[in-house]
Amino acid sequence: MERGAGRRKAKPEQRAKKARPRKSRASETAEKEASVNEPGSTARVPAPKRRLSAEDRRQEILTKSIEYFAKVGFDGGTRDLARHLGTTQPLLYRYFPNKDALIQEIYKVVFFDQWKPQWDELLADRSRPLRDRLQEFYEAYTDTILTPLWIRIYFFAGLKGEFINERYIKLVEERLLSRIVREFHLEKGLEPPETVGDRDLEIAWDLQSGIFYYGVRRYIYHARTFLPKNEMIACALDLFFAGYGEILVRRQRETAAVALPAKRRAGRQRKVSPA
């Protein structure tokens, strides 16, 4: 260790305030595009050097960082990020103490400032058929979630081992999937379970997975999909309603059969069931 210590290049005077025309903005990175012009004469206006209020700058860094990291992942360099911002790299450190703090802020914005309260109302509105509610909900929900930005940030975070995803998963299970199970029971005239069963939750995950994975196929695998988004949602809901309905009917039949083991008339009772 102590190996890389002998740096001290020791050419201290050579800095030299050269007469070069003060090539603004990140000399080390802007080099390339600057060299297109002739070095002396029309040296390209120095890119006005925007001076923003602290608040605005912070916001801009945040939103542009999300774009950048969504593209290249959180291992993307701060210099490259600064280039995408149109500023210089040390500026980042005026607004965020270090790279990880910036990333944590991104998680917060992307994952937890997105759920719209009106979605809760929409899902709970029993004056409308559940099928309609879910179609409308998923169309809106996927408008924000099924985007390259959101999905890629989400997976970069997950693969990095952030606990953020676990928290988000909980949110989905509590706010959405458990609710779907309960509402579905209600609409079928069944007693909604006070605590949602494991099997039912996994079934609801099947619905969620089908819809979400459509976005994964598009924005992570860059594979082609075969239906427009909203038709895909309708398709997934068709499958879910038909399938889950049938599963509940069968379950009903079974428990009924167990509840009346002696009395049941031998062969009959094929598909009626008291729903």
Long-range contacts of 173-176 (CB under 8 A, 24+ apart): 173/201, 175/115, 175/120, 176/123, 176/208
Nearest to 76 by CA among 92, 60, 99: 99
Tokens for 251, please give them: 């379950």
240 is a site residue for a copy of itself (CB under 8 A): yes
158 is a site residue for a copy of itself (CB under 8 A): yes
209 is a site residue for a copy of itself (CB under 8 A): yes
Q: Which of 67, 190, 206, 252 binds a copy of itself (CB under 8 A)?
A: 206
Choice between 62 and 91, CB closer to DNA: 91
**Cα separations (Å) of 258 from 80, 252, 253, 264, 265?**
66, 10, 9, 9, 13
Residue 90 binds which of a copy of itself, DNA, none (CB < 5-8 A, kind-dependent): DNA
Report DSSP letters for 157-190, one per residue. Answer: HHHHT-THHHHHHHHHIIIIIHHHHHHHHHHTT-
244 is a site residue for a copy of itself (CB under 8 A): yes
Give the nearest distance from C-beta 170 to a copy of itself in angstroms. 8
80 is a site residue for DNA (CB under 7 A): yes
Q: Which of 44, 58, 235, 252 binds a copy of itself (CB under 8 A)?
A: 235
Q: Which of 71, 94, 199, 264 binds DNA (CB under 7 A)?
A: 94
Q: Which stretch binds DNA (CB under 7 A): 19-27, 110-118, 165-173, 254-262?
A: 19-27
Q: Which of 125, 132, 166, 254 binds a copy of itself (CB under 8 A)?
A: 166
Q: How far apart are CA 24 and CA 18, in angstroms?
A: 14
**Cα separations (Å) of 239 from 136, 236, 243?**
17, 5, 6
Kindly state the number of chain residues that form the binding site for a copy of itself, as judged by CB under 8 A: 54
90 is a site residue for DNA (CB under 7 A): yes
Binding site for a copy of itself (CB under 8 A): 1, 3, 28, 31, 73, 75, 152, 155-156, 158-161, 163, 165-166, 168-170, 198-199, 201-203, 205-206, 208-210, 212-214, 217, 220-223, 225-227, 231-232, 235-236, 238-247
Binding site for DNA (CB under 7 A): 2-9, 11-12, 14-15, 17-18, 22-28, 49-54, 57, 75-80, 87-91, 93-94, 97-100
